[in-house]
């Protein structure tokens, strides 16, 4: 009886070995499916990394716009392009990071050696350093509410339509254009308002 059980047990193990495992075709199909899924997911992942880099610039330029408004309300002038004026914004950010270089164009105070146009409009710029990310510009200008004639500041944040590295990309050195009709500044060519 013992030998009969041993024989049946060995037959059972032998059958199990034949049915276990994968064929070469099954393995190839799995590898092809994994390859297709990776090809779909990789560009989306890389795009998310660029969006994270661009969010730095959106946040910083938006903060520069708000700081310019606050400075204008306190001092009656916007920060100008000098390095010490950038510090007056009180943002606590470097003028150059791994991804962007931040600058100010225009600014100052009316009658202090600058034209009225420059004194009433300031452009905050984020120029991309690395490829595949977009440039950002923001603008703050003096304005008034026509119904009440109250003085105010008007703000605009603009995003480039093309990323750095693409033919004809905006560099971030462009400036916003002031308006006289009480609307926020207008974005330069190849930029869209956010």
pLDDT band at 108 (very low <50, low <70, confident <90, very high): low
pLDDT of residue 30: 94
Please state the pTM of the whole predicted model.
Answer: 0.70
Whether the pLDDT of residue 151 is over 80: the answer is no
pLDDT tens per residue, range 68-82: 888 888 888 888 777
Residue in 83, 124, 84 with CA at minimum distance from that of residue 100: 124
DSSP code of 170?
A: -
Task: Tell the burial category of 123 from Cβ atoms under 10 Å away from its Cβ (0-12, 13-18, 19+).
Answer: buried
The Cα 194–Cα 191 span in angstroms is: 9
> Phi first, then psi: what are they for 109, rounded to 5°?
-125, 140
3-state secondary structure labels for all residues of 104-153: EEECECCCCCCCHHHHHEEEEEEEECCCCCEEEEEEEEEEEECCCCEEEE
Residue in 68, 78, 194 with CA at minimum distance from that of residue 136: 194
Coil, strand or helix at 157: strand
Whether the pLDDT of residue 16 is over 60: the answer is no
Residue 90, token pair as written in the block: 């009180």
Task: Tell the burial category of 93 from Cβ atoms under 10 Å away from its Cβ (0-12, 13-18, 19+).
Answer: middle
Whether the pLDDT of residue 135 is over 80: the answer is yes
Torsion of CA 18, 23, 27, 30, to 10 degrees: -90
The predicted model gives 77-98 an average pLDDT of: 79
């Amino acid at each position: 009886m013992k030998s009969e059980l041993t024989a049946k047990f060995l037959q059972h193990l032998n059958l199990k070995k034949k049915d276990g495992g994968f064929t070469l075709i099954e393995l190839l199909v799995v590898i092809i499916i994994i390859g297709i899924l990776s090809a779909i997911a990789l560009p989306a992942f890389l795009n998310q990394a660029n969006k994270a880099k661009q969010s730095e610039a959106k946040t910083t330029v938006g903060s520069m716009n708000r700081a310019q408004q606050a400075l204008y309300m306190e001092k009656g002038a916007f920060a100008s392009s000098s390095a010490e004026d950038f510090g007056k914004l009180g943002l606590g950010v470097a003028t150059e990071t791994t991804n962007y270089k931040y600058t100010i164009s225009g600014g100052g105070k009316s009658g202090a050696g600058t034209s009225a146009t420059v004194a009433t409009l300031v452009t905050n710029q984020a120029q991309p350093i690395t490829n595949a990310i977009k440039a950002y510009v923001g603008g703050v200008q003096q304005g008034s509410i026509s119904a009440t004639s109250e003085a105010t500041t008007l703000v605009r944040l603009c995003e480039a339509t093309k990323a750095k590295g693409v033919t004809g990309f905006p560099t971030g050195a462009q400036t916003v254009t002031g308006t006289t009709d009480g609307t926020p500044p207008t974005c330069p060519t190849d930029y869209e308002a956010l």
